[in-house]
């Protein structure tokens, strides 16, 4: 077992959006840094088998859908043919380019990439910590560091009673590489991942049924928006079985048969599909991390607690930090990035902070759904007096001329101060437009601030302004 010749200022375990951004930030600040990653490529789940490949398939399938419908309406006559192998090839090439880009950034910022699985091996005599790295060939090296950052991310949550089976019962990773379009796809879980991947295969020709334990889709999304979103997805051809739980699965040569019961109790029924996608959420990944060597036990949900990113409860108040999906907060790549910068800045003696109330969420379906801040449900539950403005994309010139009129913008503002409390968008390019709201809210802006800011015409983002105007009842295009 080789000992590293000199201690690092920071050793980061995990090379995903949290880990690689932490490494780059540490390099920018002149810290001696290493990033330990057990995959053969950098980027973690997001770049390799999550955010990026799914967006490649979402984009490609949207174009396929347009070629089979919208094109003819606007005078473009084509006879498209699906080449799924080429679609996967293009996706994979994009992913490779992105992961290579991170390698370049590591070199640029003098980050050492240590390939292998990292494990905390306790505190060192000098007051720092040790990380054991086991390479693919079984060799082990020990790194010493003044600070260790845990950025191991998350993994798909398994469904009790339903075992994964290659090509038949799959997780989100499997759904990104199906070799053929299923005739019938059953998606278990009506969250963001399930709906995005379900929409990909629905557009490519699969009959898609979504089974959800709750009596609504997309928990966490504003209820009014979620209801409209489900209505639009249903119109597109997706079917929903809500308030239902899957209690068993049986596969044979013809597919997979699920046993489904009402969540509130009742008689079971059988539904069958060629492929079942289990997308009921994600859980923190801490397997074999060595937390016991620093006296730390994750909470009952598997998350590691922290105090300003420093792991809570570690012996001797050592220098172990935690960021991203493996700790509390939204399990989103961009949240992990914010954690990364804040944690490294604190380690370097600077100021670091993340406002979790202003982390946007996006569903990259068509139409997209995006939101930031509080929902109406949350405001009502908290007894907050608020005003609401709405504006439909049906009345937006750019959306109407582009035939993308499903959805609306909703702005929620404090009844007394007019401070924007939440903005919710269902419509074209919602994921791009939501940041206008996030910036306004980060400065404590009022709905009137958005309403009186000139927006270019014709743009989809005018709908945001009109919704802000409607808070005081003076929207001018409806």
**Active site (catalytic) residues:** 457
Q: How many angstroms from the chain centroid is the CA of residue 277?
A: 17
CA distances from 302 to 51, 94, 115, 305 (A): 22, 33, 25, 10
CA distances from 251 to 124, 163, 327, 364, 382 (A): 51, 10, 36, 31, 46
Tell which phi-psi region holds residue 418, choosing left (phi > 0), alpha (psi between -120 and 50) or beta. Answer: left
Per the CB < 8 A criterion, the answer to whether 95 and 129 are in contact is no
Tokens 């840094």 belong to residue? 33
Tokens 């199906």 belong to residue? 178
Rounded Cα distance between 198 and 189, Å, is 10
Per the CB < 8 A criterion, the answer to whether 279 and 189 are in contact is yes
311: its two tokens: 């792991």
18: its two tokens: 């949290």
**Among candidates 84, 140, 87, 149, which has minimal Cα distance to 115?**
140
């Amino acid at each position: 077992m080789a000992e590293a010749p000199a201690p690092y200022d920071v050793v980061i375990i995990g090379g995903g959006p949290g880990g690689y951004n932490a490494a780059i930030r540490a390099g920018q600040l002149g810290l001696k840094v290493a990033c330990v990653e057990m995959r053969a490529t950098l980027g973690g789940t997001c770049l390799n088998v999550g955010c990026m490949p799914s967006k490649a398939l979402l984009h490609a399938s949207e174009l396929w859908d347009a070629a089979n419908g919208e094109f003819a309406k606007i005078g473009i006559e084509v006879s498209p043919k699906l080449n799924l192998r080429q679609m996967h090839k293009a996706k994979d090439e994009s992913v490779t380019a992105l992961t290579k880009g991170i390698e370049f950034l590591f070199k640029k910022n003098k980050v050492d990439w240590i390939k292998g699985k990292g494990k905390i091996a306790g505190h060192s005599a000098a007051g720092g910590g040790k990380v054991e790295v086991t390479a693919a060939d079984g060799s082990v090296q020990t790194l010493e560091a003044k600070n260790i950052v845990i950025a191991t991310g998350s993994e798909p949550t398994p469904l009790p009673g339903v075992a994964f089976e290659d090509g038949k019962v799959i997780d989100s990773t499997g759904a990104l590489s199906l070799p053929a379009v299923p005739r019938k796809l059953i998606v278990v879980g009506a969250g963001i991942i399930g709906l995005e991947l379900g929409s990909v295969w629905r557009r490519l020709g699969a009959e898609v049924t979504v089974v959800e334990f709750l009596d609504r889709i997309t928990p966490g999304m504003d209820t009014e928006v979620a209801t409209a979103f489900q209505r639009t997805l249903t119109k597109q051809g997706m079917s929903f079985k809500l308030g239902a739980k899957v209690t068993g699965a049986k596969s044979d040569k013809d597919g997979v048969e699920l046993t489904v019961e009402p969540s509130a109790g009742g008689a079971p029924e059988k539904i069958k599909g060629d492929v079942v996608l289990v997308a009921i959420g994600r859980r923190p990944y801490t397997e074999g991390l060595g937390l016991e060597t620093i006296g730390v036990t994750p909470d009952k949900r598997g998350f590691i607690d922290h105090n300003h990113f420093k792991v809570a409860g570690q012996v001797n108040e050592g220098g172990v930090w935690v960021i991203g999906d493996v700790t509390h907060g939204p399990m989103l790549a961009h949240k992990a990035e914010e954690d990364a910068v804040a944690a490294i800045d604190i380690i370097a003696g600077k100021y670091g902070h993340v406002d979790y109330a202003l982390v946007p969420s996006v569903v990259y379906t068509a139409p997209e759904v995006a939101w930031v801040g509080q929902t109406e449900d949350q405001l009502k539950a908290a007894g907050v007096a608020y005003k609401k403005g709405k504006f439909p994309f049906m009345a937006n010139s750019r959306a109407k001329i582009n035939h993308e009129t499903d959805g609306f913008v909703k702005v929620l503002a404090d009844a007394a101060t007019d401070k924007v409390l939440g903005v919710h968008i269902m419509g074209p390019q919602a994921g791009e437009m939501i940041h206008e709201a996030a910036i306004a809210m980060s400065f404590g802006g009022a709905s009137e601030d958005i309403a009186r800011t000139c927006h270019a015409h014709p743009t989809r983002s005018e709908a945001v302004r009109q919704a802000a105007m409607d808070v005081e009842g003076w929207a001018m295009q409806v």
